[in-house]
Amino acid sequence: MSDPAGAPAPPPRPAPTLRSHQWYGADGVRSFSHRARTRQLGYLPEEHLGRPVIAVLNTWSDINPCHVHLRDRAQAVKRGVWQAGGFPLEFPVATLSETFQKPTPMLYRNLLAMETEELLRSYPVDGAVLMGGCDKSTPALLMGAATVDLPAVFVPAGPMLPGHWRDQILGSGTDMWRYWDDHRAGLIGDDELAELEHGLARSPGTCMTMGTAATLTAAAEALGVTLPGASSIPAVDSGHERMAAACGRRIVALVREDLRPSAILTRPAYEDAVATVLALGGSTNAVIHLIAMAGRSGVPLTLDDFDRIARRVPVLADLRPGGRFLMEDFHFAGGLPAFLTRIADVLHLDRPTVAGPTLRDQLARARVHDDEVIRPRGRPVADEGGVAVLRGNLCPDGAVIKHIAAEPRLLRHTGPAVVFPDYRTLRATIDDPSLGITADHVLVLQNAGPLGGPGMPEYGMLPIPAQLLERGVRDMVRLSDARMSGTSYGACVLHIAPESAVGGPLALVRDGDPITLDVPARRLTLEVPEDELARRRAAWRPPPERFQRGYGALYSEQVTQADTGCDFAFLARPGHTPDPYTG
């Protein structure tokens, strides 16, 4: 049967250099079938044959407020692909909603990474546009894309609008924690809390503080897998739609240039991403995710790299939770390109990016427009990067603390432990006056790590007892093998490795044990004699198995510890996976 547009003609053949040519261009029944089924989708041969086929991986869903606008942005991406002579195909992929998914979307980061990898490998695509931004979606999409190594560009979801309540400008996440503590302390009532619900999150988009979402999309831009300035464009700004269309045009060019993630995601790129995160005062979650992403790129990245780079870069972004401003302020102060000019001396400027040709070229025209938001080197927010890596007998494989978000008096502190064996017990008993908790105690949460959580939930900002909040206490030393939201704050030691659920030293802590935190010395010490720890270790028994089947069982069998990125062992190991096309 002929097409309505004219008489039948021999179908043109795709360019043999395109990967999709294996599906569409060969002689044989399989290619005949693929072309016929593409007609079934409603496309004429001239619409797709010979054009780069672009997968648009979209993490949109009705229950992900950070990504709810990505349904529309995908249309802009596809418009750009068509404009550049490509053929876009949208793929719905797992949505990791930080707000709603339990027990934690971190449990499913590797699931989205696997889905990304296998979709790109198994379908007739030549390149990909990756659409995400809410905390775990950014590393998941990039982990999968790096493994497959097809040309790819990342579209960040963008931050939401600033929040408002009465005369206050609110930062989603950060001010939620602050006003919730005020409510627990009796400083505001239910009516005020209800008003805050209306003003805290006013639009689609990710948290507008320098939380995990903003940190990871900034890291993606520093790595060179977004267009310049993309990571800070507000989600509802018309510039965001223009950026999405530009990404659609750019991915077609990347396919034709054959510029792949392996050429971009190099050791220098990851070092620059680490420097960027630390100079932004970004989320501690970036430590885990960048280590996992680097592993997928064949780049060894360790906690020691973070600590080494932290000592070389100051914090220059005055952004909440450690500072004053929000992401829209950062965007109009010049965004990440302007910010990177302030730390250019520690960056590798002559490396390639998806925008081409080099990072140096991208920064040539960037300017800082507000020295309060993006500080000069001579007036930093902090002299060293915002995350410190700790070592000691309580964390032999490392731990982290976002010390710029802690009260300075607690950065050197010794106090007796109050131990909670799990988060359920913590929630049920933290306000019990009989525990006798004082501001000098060290709160310890066990069994909240990759296995114990499960999934290493964001429990690390342990709540302060209500009776202390009422007395004005707003920070205490708190330890766990959990993570915490990038919007959180306080003297919270996180990611203690190995975790308590596998018998790490955290499992051996008892009420009253003295614990010393010394951030300047990068030490975390359990002040208990080794022979006593040996007795406790001999008596320790692992917690019961949580999952007996399904994804949870796979997760439990394969997840690695925090210091190595919490990837799956069978995905993190080196090795080649062949292209699945068999002709």
Contact between residue 140 and residue 165 where contact means Cβ atoms under 8 Å apart: no
Other C-beta atoms lying within 10 Å of the C-beta of residue 34: 16
**3-state SS assignment for residue 131:** strand
Using a 10 angstrom Cβ sphere, with 0-12 exposed, 13-18 middle and 19 or more buried, the burial of residue 8 is exposed
**3-state SS assignment for residue 16:** coil
pLDDT of residue 9: 44
151 prior amide bond cis, ω within 30: no
pLDDT of residue 15: 66
Cα–Cα distance between 126 and 252 in angstroms, integer? 9
Query: For residue 93, which amino acid is it?
Result: V
pLDDT of residue 7: 42
For 570, the token pair is: 């069978």
Using a 10 angstrom Cβ sphere, with 0-12 exposed, 13-18 middle and 19 or more buried, the burial of residue 2 is exposed
**3-state SS assignment for residue 357:** coil
Please give the angle made by the CA atoms of 290, 292 and 296, to the nearest 5 degrees: 110
Q: Give the start-to-end residue ranges of the domains of the chain.
A: 1-50, 51-161+203-363, 164-199, 388-539
Contact between residue 473 and residue 439 where contact means Cβ atoms under 8 Å apart: yes
Contact between residue 176 and residue 207 where contact means Cβ atoms under 8 Å apart: no
- CATH (one of 3.50.30.80, 3.30.1490.480, 3.40.50.300, 3.40.50.720) for 388-539: 3.50.30.80
Other C-beta atoms lying within 10 Å of the C-beta of residue 569: 11
Kindly state the DSSP code that residue 351 receives in the 8-state scheme: S
Contact between residue 123 and residue 55 where contact means Cβ atoms under 8 Å apart: yes
Phi, psi of 546 (to 5 degrees): -90, -40
pLDDT of residue 173: 87
Phi, psi of 169 (to 5 degrees): -95, 125
Kindly state the DSSP code that residue 317 receives in the 8-state scheme: B
Write the CATH number of the domain with boundaries 51-161+203-363: 3.40.50.2300
Phi, psi of 312 (to 5 degrees): -105, -15
CA dihedral 371→374→375→381, nearest 10 degrees, is 140
Cα–Cα distance between 240 and 242 in angstroms, integer? 5
**3-state SS assignment for residue 494:** strand
Helix (H) or strand (E) holding 370: none
Contact between residue 567 and residue 292 where contact means Cβ atoms under 8 Å apart: yes
**3-state SS assignment for residue 418:** strand
- Proportion of the chain in helix, strand, coil states, percent, rounded to 5: 40, 15, 45
Contact between residue 3 and residue 38 where contact means Cβ atoms under 8 Å apart: no
| pLDDT in 10s for each residue of the chain, 583 residues | 445 444 444 444 456 789 999 999 888 899 999 999 999 999 998 899 999 999 999 999 999 999 999 999 999 999 999 999 999 999 999 999 999 999 999 999 999 999 999 999 999 999 999 999 999 999 999 999 999 999 999 999 999 999 999 999 999 988 999 999 999 999 999 999 999 999 999 999 999 999 999 999 999 999 999 999 999 999 999 999 999 999 999 999 999 999 999 999 999 999 999 999 999 999 999 999 999 999 999 999 999 999 999 999 999 999 999 899 999 999 999 999 999 999 999 999 999 999 989 999 999 999 999 999 999 999 999 999 999 999 999 999 999 999 999 999 999 999 999 999 999 999 999 999 999 999 999 999 999 999 999 999 999 999 999 999 999 999 999 999 999 999 899 999 999 999 999 999 999 999 999 999 999 999 999 999 999 999 999 999 999 999 999 999 999 999 999 999 999 999 999 998 988 875 4
Phi, psi of 165 (to 5 degrees): -150, 115
Intrachain domains 51-161+203-363 and 388-539 with the same fold? no
Of 161, 166, 165, 167, give the one whose Cα is nearest residue 176.
165
Cα–Cα distance between 284 and 387 in angstroms, integer? 7
Rounded to two decimals, what is the model's pTM? 0.96
For 533, the token pair is: 């720890």
Kindly state the DSSP code that residue 549 receives in the 8-state scheme: S
Phi, psi of 362 (to 5 degrees): -65, -35
Cα–Cα distance between 112 and 130 in angstroms, integer? 12
Other C-beta atoms lying within 10 Å of the C-beta of residue 368: 18
